[in-house]
Amino acid sequence: MSRCSDRLNEKGYFKHIFMQRHRVSLDKAQVLEAPDSLGLPSVSNDAMCKPKVDWAIGAGHHSVKVLFLASWYPNPDNPVEGLFIRRHALAVSRYCDVSVLYIDTRGAEDKVIVSEDEGLLEIGIFKKIGSGMRHKTCDLILAYLQGIRDGLEIVEARRGRPDILHVNVIYPAGLIALLLSFLKGYPYIITEHSTGYLIEDGSFGRRSILMKAAIRWAGNRAKRITTVSRKLRDAMVDAGIKNRYSIVPNVIYIASPISIRRSSIDEGGDIRKRIIHISLLDDRQKNVSGILKALKVLADRRDDFRLDIVGEGPDRWNLEALAANLSLLNDKVFFHGRASDEEIALFFSRCHFFIMNSNFETFSVVTAEALAEGKPVIVTKCGGPEEFVDESCGILLDPGDYEGLVGAIDFMLDNFQAYDPETIKKRARDRFDEKKIGMIFSGIYEEIIG
C-alpha cells in the first residue's frame, strides 16, 4: 500500500488534481466528439414527451447544475448497462442543467468520449488497466483520479461548476463523491439500484472490512439517499448505511405509436396466446429455468401458447440448451436476443401477459413497463414488484414457488382478458411518470443547496 501511496504522491494527485478548475489537459487520451458516440439507445422526444428547450449555457432555463456520477451507464460494449440511470438523468434534465460522468476501467484503450444529446452532456472516460496484479489496485485508483480530473475539466468548461453531485450506485461513484466533498466542497446525494445489499445477493457482505467501511462512510456523508424500493432501503439500513432516505422509482420507457408501427419484427402469423419474459438472463437472479420447467408441465396438456424470451446474458446458451432438452425450443419457446426499446414495445403490444420469476430484485423496470403497456403480469415477491403489483393487474408469487407458477400461468392463459388494460396502463404511467420523478429530484436538490 505504501508503494501505491508513493506513486500517487509522485503524481501530485491529492494536492493538485482537483484544485485547477479550468485547466484543459487530457493526457494522451483520445478525445472523440460525436452525437450518440457513447453507443446510447436513442430515446425519442415523442416517446419521452420532452418539450423543446433552449439548452444554451447561460440561457437561464436551468438554475441548478447537477453532475451525475454513474457507476453504471450505457456504453458501446453494453448499451443497456445502467439504462435506468440515463432515464433518471433525462427526467432531471427537464428542470436542471445535467451533466453525466461515467468512468470505465474495462476499456481496450484510453479515450474520452463526449456527447451532447437531448440536453445531457455525457462524458465517458475509458481507461485501460493492465492485467498484472502487482499494481492493479494502484492503477485502478490512478485511473479513477485521472478520470475525475479530466471529466470535471470538461464539465466545468462547458457547463460551469456543478452545484451538486448525484451519485448513482455507491460503489465506486460514491467514493469519488466522498473525495470530492472533501477536496472541492461538493454536496452529493446517492441513488442506489444495486441488489448487493439484499441478503439474497450477499455481495456487500462478501466485501472486505475496509471496503464496507468506505461504502458506509460515503453513504452516511451523503446529503440524502434515494432508493427505488423499500426493500432496498431496509437492506441498506441493515448494512449500516444510516441516512435520510426517500423512495423514488425508476422511469419507464413508453414507445410512441409511430415507433411501434415502424418496427420490423415479424409476427409470423402465430395465433397462439403469447407470453413474454425480458431480462439479462442471469439465472441465479432471474430464475428463467423455473419458467421453462413450468411451461414443460403445461405443454404436456395444452398447446395454445408460446413464450418469447428477449434479452442477452451469461446464461442464455444454457437456457437454450435446457429449452431444447425439454422439447420447447423453437416450438413453444423462442429466444430473440437483445432488442431495442421500440422492438420491446412491439413485443409488449403483441403479448397477452408478462412473466418475471426472479429470486431477488430492487425494482424490476420491465415489470413496470409491461404494466404501462396495459399487460397483466405474473411476478414474484422478490423485492420490488410487490410494491406496485396487486390482484387488479396480476398475480404475485413467492420466489421459488414452482407449483404456484404452473398454476398461475395456467390460470392467466384462460383469464388474461379479465384484466382491464386501460386501467392497468393509466395507473402505471401515472406512478412512473418522467415529469413527476424529475420534479422529485429537483425538489431534493433545491432543499439541499437552498
- Residue 86, judged by CB atoms within 10 A of its CB (0-12, 13-18, 19+), counts as buried
CA distance 166 to 441: 10
Answer yes or no: do 162 and 303 share one domain.
no
Nearest to 103 by CA among 142, 137, 66: 142
Cβ neighbour number for residue 214 with a 10 Å cutoff: 18
CA distance 66 to 164: 5
Answer yes or no: do 236 and 168 share one domain.
yes
CA 210 to each of CA 199, 237, 245: distance values in angstroms, whole numbers, following the listed order: 20, 18, 24
Q: What is the pLDDT of residues 366-417, one digit of tens each?
A: 999 999 999 999 999 999 999 999 999 999 999 999 999 999 999 999 999 9
Quick one: pLDDT at residue 57?
34
Residue 61 predicted with pLDDT over 90 = no
CATH code for position 293: 3.40.50.2000
CA distance 41 to 202: 31
In this structure, are residues 169 and 71 in contact, taking their beta carbons and an 8 Å threshold?
yes
Phi-psi region of 34 (alpha: psi -120 to 50; beta: other; left: phi over 0): beta
Which secondary structure element, helix H or strand E, spans residue 365, and what is its range?
Answer: helix 365-372
Name the residue with cell 404475485.
396
Q: Which residues form the domain of 195?
A: 2-251+434-449
Confidence of residue 356 (pLDDT cuts 50, 70, 90): very high
Cβ neighbour number for residue 111 with a 10 Å cutoff: 19
Pairing status of strand 245-247 against strand 224-227: parallel
Phi-psi region of 36 (alpha: psi -120 to 50; beta: other; left: phi over 0): left
Answer yes or no: do 215 and 341 share one domain.
no
3-state secondary structure of 88: helix
Cβ neighbour number for residue 125 with a 10 Å cutoff: 27
CA angle 310, 123, 170 (to 5 degrees): 70
Answer yes or no: do 231 and 334 share one domain.
no
Q: What is the mean pLDDT of the chain?
A: 86
Q: What is the pLDDT of residues 150-207, one digit of tens each?
A: 999 999 999 999 999 999 999 999 999 999 999 999 999 999 999 999 999 999 999 9
Answer yes or no: do 182 and 276 share one domain.
no
Answer yes or no: do 244 and 262 share one domain.
no
Confidence of residue 244 (pLDDT cuts 50, 70, 90): very high
Q: What is the pLDDT of residues 252-310, one digit of tens each?
A: 988 765 554 544 455 556 789 999 999 999 999 999 999 999 999 999 999 999 999 99
In the chain, pLDDT over 70 holds for what percent of residues?
A: 81
Answer yes or no: do 127 and 222 share one domain.
yes
Q: For residue 168, what are the β-bridge partners?
A: 70, 191
In the chain, pLDDT over 90 holds for what percent of residues?
A: 72
Answer yes or no: do 281 and 415 share one domain.
yes
Residue 343 predicted with pLDDT over 80 = yes
Answer yes or no: do 297 and 320 share one domain.
yes
Q: Which residue has the higher pLDDT, 137 or 220?
A: 220
Total domains in the chain come to: 2
Answer yes or no: do 215 and 293 share one domain.
no
In this structure, are residues 117 and 40 in contact, taking their beta carbons and an 8 Å threshold?
yes
Confidence of residue 37 (pLDDT cuts 50, 70, 90): very low
Quick one: pLDDT at residue 107?
74
In this structure, are residues 102 and 124 in contact, taking their beta carbons and an 8 Å threshold?
yes
Answer yes or no: do 246 and 280 share one domain.
no
Outline where 193-301 has alpha helix (H): 209-221, 230-238, 257-262, 283-286, 288-299
Confidence of residue 38 (pLDDT cuts 50, 70, 90): very low
Quick one: pLDDT at residue 297?
97
- Residue 222, judged by CB atoms within 10 A of its CB (0-12, 13-18, 19+), counts as buried
Answer yes or no: do 298 and 188 share one domain.
no
pTM (2 d.p.):
0.84
Task: Write the DSSP assignment of 18-87 as a string of letters.
Answer: TT-SS----TT-EEEE-TTTT-PPP--HHHHTPPP----TTSSS---EEEEEESS--BTTBTTTTHHHHH
Residue 218 predicted with pLDDT over 60 = yes
